[in-house]
Amino acid sequence: MNIQQNFSLQSYNTFGLDIKAKYFATFETETELNQILEKCANIPKLILGGGSNILFTQNFEGIILYNQIKGIKIEDDFDDSVIVNVGAGENWADFVAYAVKNGYCGIENLALIPGTVGASVIQNIGAYGVEVKDFVKNVYTNGKKSVYNNIDCKFGYRDSVFKQENPKQSVILSVTFHFSKKPHLKLDYGDIRKILQESNIENPTTKDVFDAICHIRSSKLPNPAEIGNAGSFFKNPEINRSHFEFLKQNFPQMPFYPVENPEKVKVPAGWLIEKAGWKGKKIENIGVHEKQALVLVNYGGGKGIDILNLANQIEKSIQEMFDISLEKEVNIL
């Protein structure tokens, strides 16, 4: 067990912010985790995966626990489906590529999302009409409740029981997924069909959709290795359909997506932010990405508090212009 002090987190958050943790420790097994927790019982704790959905606004005066529990194990292999257990510290994008390569269907639309498998469950990540909750069978933790089934997880839009409750009470160790071996492709979001048509693909496979998603994300979203960012900074808001119809009188091209509640619709936050004039706006070392208004960026040397202030300004302008409240998707510390 190696606990480091005054540890720089610049390489451990995708915004690339030069923030320090008072203490830092890596764990690869539940035993190592419990040893660290016992030794640091009275110290504030933060579990860190890929650091891709977090904005540090100040140094962390506690211990960062860096989850590196790895491993992919087939628990059951049936004719038409498969159950796979995955370590919480596995890279999510790598796992999606693994699933597609092995013919496990469903999560191809979640390609290239940064972060870890454990974080994917906490956040209930989603993209292009798919959410991770649709495939989670069980989540295993080191807490008093060691196994959560899908219902126990209380999944919501970018939400779960692990995000709602005190995350210090338990740490996700691994996740079991249930995948079909028969494709059920979702093609009606974003530019998926357009990309497939441009490639003259009439009967797409899971791999074709995976490749299309990778192309879309690579062309629209900045690589954190090149420009600091945490992907989508805001959630897409759900608004009353009556308010949407009112707004369409002034914004007839306003896009929307249906949701389960027929009295509501989901509006793309990126479209709202672009309409409000923020797209491509740069303020010293930070700004809004030039190709995707949903992404706030650190061009180098930026500070977390400045990014947070920018986000608050954007929220205020969207409220004033559309009477819509934006909610941050990124966790703020």
Q: State the catalytic residues.
A: 158, 232, 329
Q: At what angle do helices 206-220 and 92-101 cross, to 10 degrees?
A: 150
Distance CA 106, CA 185 (A): 7
Closest alpha carbon to 136 in 111, 91, 172, 103? 172
C-alpha span between 79 and 125 (Å, rounded): 28
Look at strands 81-87 and 72-77 and give their pairing: antiparallel
| Distance between CA atoms of residues 132 and 162, nearest Å | 14
